[in-house]
Amino acid sequence: MASTIPFKLISPTQVVFEGDAELVIAVTTEGEEGILPHHAPFLAALRPGVLRANVLEGGAAKRLELATSEGFLQALPERLTVLVDQALRFEEVDVNGARTELAEAQECQKSAAADSPQYQHEQAAIDYANAKLRLTGH
């Protein structure tokens, strides 16, 4: 059996997941990053995207996939923590809502100057909406 590391996924309103993980793949600002147990101490900023993890739940291996918004990932020898503003499981995603959000954010982005905080904010919203759609296979 592969080794595991205690993994926690936390949002401001709840602890979304807590358990042991064999592998966690998150979208950092530099691209996708896979974290295995015994990773060197590591701290990264995350972009909105789909976070995937191989976790053990009740002794059985399981695939965990979530659409996450901006956040941070912290890997320590003894644990792995991901902080995000929002995290949604497959069944929690509102597909039509995400489509509307995507359209609105794209519309707003057009009127914002590139490189402005407003532009960045809309880009994050677009990425998050896209992540939600990708998670649900749209």
Q: Which residues bind other proteins (CB under 8 A)?
A: 8, 10-15, 28-30, 33, 40-45, 70, 72, 74, 76-77, 81, 83, 85, 117
Q: How far is the CB of 32 from other proteins (least distance, A)?
A: 11
Measured from the CB atom, the residue of 44 and 50 that comes closer to other proteins is: 44
Burial class (CB in 10 A: 0-12, 13-18, 19+), 68: buried
**Residues 11/87, Cβ–Cβ less than 8 Å:** yes
**Residues 135/65, Cβ–Cβ less than 8 Å:** yes
Q: Which residue stretches of the chain are H helix?
A: 95-111, 117-135
Q: How far is the CB of 73 from other proteins (least distance, A)?
A: 9
Measured from the CB atom, the residue of 20 and 33 that comes closer to other proteins is: 33
Distance CA(116)–CA(61), nearest Å, equals 44
Measured from the CB atom, the residue of 39 and 99 that comes closer to other proteins is: 39
CA 54-78-11 angle, to 5 degrees, is 60
Q: How far is the CB of 37 from other proteins (least distance, A)?
A: 16
Measured from the CB atom, the residue of 89 and 138 that comes closer to other proteins is: 89
Q: How far is the CB of 11 from other proteins (least distance, A)?
A: 7
